[in-house]
Amino acid sequence: MKTLKNLFLDELADMYDAEQRIVKALPKMAKAANCEDLKAAIKSHLKETEGHVKKLKQVFQCFDKKAKGKTCEATVGLLKEGEDIAAEFKGSPAINAALIGAAQKVEHYEIASYGCLHEWAELLDNQKAAGLLQQILEQEKHANESLNELAHSSLNEEALGESNGNGSPDKPGTKAPGNPRRIVRPVGTSRSRGLSVKR
């Protein structure tokens, strides 16, 4: 009979694979961005993600298991979508907003997954594992908040000026066609422009 422990270890293997894939994908995303602040945010999260891989190995050890991955189909799909978006919007004023949207989809998947893993580790009465997973969860939340703040600071608005009708980008200060309130908005939980990023 499958138990919560089986479910936990299965999801843990899923995320171990996911984090390794994300480590490989983030440098490509940073290269595709043309905003220095966004590049810096992605590179910063790359270092955190490398740390997540190490922490997950420790979580496996907490359950006397050797770290192993199981193909995370969700992350495979999300990263493929991100690559396609980067290629489609390369050179466009919307490239940074597009990259943020793709990155936040990954972040939200990770936040949901680590939220479950943390809860399950506590139910399995493994406080060390729960603590490690809580650390990862908080870093994923902070990464999402950082992306949200970048999007709301200027990058979403920049995405509005894609065309002036003849195929060339709009000049600064000109109105974009269509509804000026239709902003490329990331998958965030708030429309506030005053988001604070926890350190």
- SS3 state of residue 125: coil
CATH architecture of 4-158: Up-down Bundle (1.20)
Residue 32: which region, alpha, beta or left (left: phi > 0; alpha: psi -120 to 50)? alpha
Alpha-carbon torsion (151, 157, 184, 182), positive or negative: positive
> Is the CB of residue 157 less than 8 Å from the CB of residue 183?
yes
pLDDT tens, residue by residue, 17-52? 999 999 999 999 999 999 999 999 999 999 999 999
Residue 158 has a pLDDT of 82
What's the CA gap between 115 and 60, in Å, rounded? 17
Q: Which of 5-9, 51-55, 158-162, 187-191 has the lowest mean pLDDT?
A: 187-191
pLDDT of residue 157: 83
The answer to whether residues 197 and 145 touch, using CB atoms and an 8 Å cutoff, is: yes
Instruction: Enumerate the domain spans of the chain.
Output: 4-158
Residue 163 banded pLDDT, cuts 50, 70, 90: very low
- Which range, of 52-56, 141-145, 157-161, 178-182, averages the lowest pLDDT? 178-182
Residue 64 pLDDT? 97
pTM of the model: 0.79
